[in-house]
Chain A
Amino acid sequence: MPSYKLTYFNVRGRAELIRLLFATGGIPYEDVRIGRDKWPELKPKTPMGQIPILEVDGQVYCQSMAIARFVAREAGLLGESSSDQARADMLLDGGAEVGELLKEVVLEKDASKRAEKKKEFSEKSLPHFLTLYEGFANDSGHFVGESLTWADISFFNMMDFLTAEFPSALDGYDKLSKVIENVKSNPGIAKWLKERPVTDH
């Protein structure tokens, strides 16, 4: 079995999806978390001056989604057919767009601008996104086919961040709530959720 070493800051951020996928697949890996003071030293040794990075038997890979897709494949969570896999990719990409909008809200320093952005997000972008995705989920609470894929896990991860700002976001979205339930009750994930370091983002 290859050795996997994931390096990131001690936050969930752009590494958490990867950690969730390792957990779902029951794949052992080294979960290295560095302090911000160690980053300047490491930065030039990375392919693109960014983390997370994944080392696989010494070969270094960057870009969180590229890494996540690789781990999803190793864990059998990519989707079965090529069109299933594309559907998962598509839903992930759409989710990432909303994730970026959420980031803009959260990172806004000016208090009144932040309140404005938060209001617009919660009244326009968020309901639009959730209604769309409620339509993408099926009655059994999956986005692709009838079993768990990384599309479900990625949605769960995003909602994890989102519900910190908007706790009741999923009220009334039955199928999406079922997706969350399915992900949380996966044994590997349930264990990780209990054990993972608690960080503010």
Chain B
Amino acid sequence: MAPKYRLVYFNVRGRAELTRLLFAAAGVEYQDERFEFGSEQWKELKPKTPMGQMPLLYVDDVTLCQSLTIARYVARATGLAGRSPLDEARADMIVDGLADLEKKLLAIFNEKDEEKKGELQKDLAGSFLPQFLGNYEKLASAEGFFIGDSMTWADIAFFNTLGWVTPMDPAVLDGFNNLAKVVDNVQSQPGVARWLKERPLTKM
């Protein structure tokens, strides 16, 4: 019998969106439970969770926290993790590397001082991103895949993280043809395309 998945998070993309994209790409049904910030429901649930954090994934009698653990679990369950141990290692490497970019994005998002924020954005666009995307361009194939010749969660994770950069810098992938192809492959995958049309529009 198919497992029943319940994903619990705030009503934002944030740290749950990768998992939502994986479910969408795989065409796997799940309950997409969302709390508003400061809700009573989260206050009540928090002490009953493994580490007092969200997102959470409930699968049959298993409760998981830690967003990447959840995403990896779903990727493995839906055949998106990679087809061999070395492929899985390569996918893990691509996904883990994205955390460096996400840390910078989070720092920008959290910076209240407009001047400092501008400085951080400048550093991101002028120095960090060209280097980062240069590295990732070499890791992606001309067909637009990070691993082998088919889509894995590494491609979807890259697409997801880029989604936080492109509002600041729509032309960020100019000159990075392989990466542009990765993004194109992911957003035109039928399950993902449908989710992108249907998903709640949230600020982050």
Contacts and interface: CB of A to CB of B under 8 A. Distances in A.
Asked if chains A and B come from one complex, the reply is yes
Interface of A: 47-49, 56, 59, 61-63, 65-67, 69-70, 73-74, 82-83, 85-87, 89-90, 93-94, 132, 136
A18 to B, nearest CB: 12
27 contacts: A47-B93, A47-B97, A47-B139, A48-B135, A59-B86, A61-B93, A65-B92, A66-B95, A69-B89, A69-B92, A70-B86, A70-B88, A74-B85, A82-B73, A82-B76, A83-B62, A85-B76, A86-B62, A86-B64, A86-B73, A89-B66, A89-B69, A90-B64, A90-B65, A90-B69, A94-B51, A132-B51
Contacts of A93: 66, 68-69
A140 to B, nearest CB: 20
Nearest to B99: A63
B59 A83 contact: yes
Interface in B83-116: 85-86, 88-90, 92-93, 95-97
B93 A62 contact: yes
B50 interface: yes
Contacts of A90: 50, 64-66, 69
Nearest to B135: A48
**Considering the complex of A and B, which 7 residue pairs feature the smallest CB-CB distances, nearest first?**
A66-B92, A93-B66, A70-B89, A63-B96, A89-B69, A66-B93, A86-B73
Contacts of B70: 86
Given A69-B92, A94-B66, A48 B97 contact: yes
A56 B97 CA distance: 19
Interface of B: 50-51, 59, 62, 64-66, 68-70, 72-73, 76-77, 85-86, 88-90, 92-93, 95-97, 131, 135, 138-139
Given A90-B69, A94-B51, 8 more contacts: A48-B97, A49-B131, A63-B97, A67-B93, A69-B89, A70-B88, A89-B66, A94-B65
Nearest to B95: A66
B51 A61 contact: no
The main secondary structure of chain B at its interface with chain A is helix
Contacts of A74: 85
Contacts of A59: 86
B61 to A, nearest CB: 9
A73 B93 contact: no
A136 B64 CA distance: 13
Contacts of B139: 47
B93 A63 contact: yes
Nearest to B51: A94
A65 B135 CA distance: 19
Contact of B92 (A49, A56, A63, A82): A63
A164 B66 CA distance: 27
Contacts of A132: 51
A47 B86 CA distance: 15
A16 B72 CA distance: 23
A86 B69 contact: yes
A70 B85 contact: yes
B90 A61 contact: yes
B102 to A, nearest CB: 14
A70 B131 CA distance: 26
B98 to A, nearest CB: 10
A179 to B, nearest CB: 17
Nearest to B138: A47
